[in-house]
Chain A
């Protein structure tokens, strides 16, 4: 009953108009993609629809979610990390052990930040605080991980001859590839660094605006927003550093040979098998 009441709430109906407006804008982007033959329509449209369905489902369930015992929120966050790693690893098409590396990098980056901030009291020990803030940190770490994988894959593929020319001289593999690993880390951190640079000047984040509109002290809202940005910054940095370190190793065989990146259409089953 509660769910039905929520669905017929006038504010939900009004929200639908806003969704429609956002959909029109997305349709424009997809239309331009189609006109310019970019071939991105499926990916753009699919992600848009999927995001909508998922967030509405989350909205419908979140009340129930907040009622779970605190101990389970750890499990929920772990599941989020796994799913984020699954989505993210597809960005490194053909990169050896991309899924395993994504799980480790995202898990480490998010866990260190979440645990530290919970210990410091910046994240309350309540499900309604831990799950959304944790989810936000994981989502941002995923973005960094995806960018790291994507860049690493293209750097190695386009510089394969250079890497092998140096490898053939008896250079340790991690040194032969380090320039390209560094480039992947740098590129993956551009959004986080730019967001920090423009924080307050161009980028006035939603959470801070919401807190101020909700009557919080603007200075405290700003402080808390900075804490959030710091968490995103740290989680992204740790994720990218971990991912790049592991990628740099996974790219080579035991005999220090640069592996071929064989692209595949990853299936869940196949990937789970590869974890063994």
Chain B
């Protein structure tokens, strides 16, 4: 007899397997991997050439490695968070199967979470390749002795939780949007790239946006990853916080965002049902 835990695990595994089939069955695995890493590697190359173009004349070029590292970890946001919004678009618009997902016992959160595992794998591969390219090709080195593994792993895990839960909210948003959900999904990742100071310190943002940035766990996440991996952060404003405060702020904002996301998904889903948008295809 199956317990609720094993049932959930089985549903999760099925959704993950389906995600892999949908994402990858259009081509052989090698080509799939090549296509998967082209975009992130090109973005890393853009950053690297921007850096090399100004390295001789810029006054704070030494800060670049922190931005480069955060850009590598932003892959998780780009892939998982956007990917969850995409699941809704694909299921509703392209395959017209969203209604069957709702009619099945899988549970939408388990389904979305399972489908995002292939994105997690892609993001991990991209992140490792970006960091390896920085280390080997661009000479962006860090001292492994300075890495504080426990807070780094803890921060990394908290950030992933925030990404997955925010992904639920993005998926909920996609439910009420027409076909424009395609580019709105992508826009969320780009917005977070700007707002959370991935490639620059948030001190450069206007004050109102800084306040918004501090409410988002990703801002704390990138700063924690930089601090625990390289030994220093990027922002003077966040530099005032101790390591413990930084991790606590990340944990607190993650919990808050997760609660808002679950509540937000259900609210948006109710709205979509009322407006008849849950299965309304507007693209093809």
A and B co-occur in one complex? no
Q: B: which residues have CB within 8 A of A?
A: none
Q: A: which residues have CB within 8 A of B?
A: none
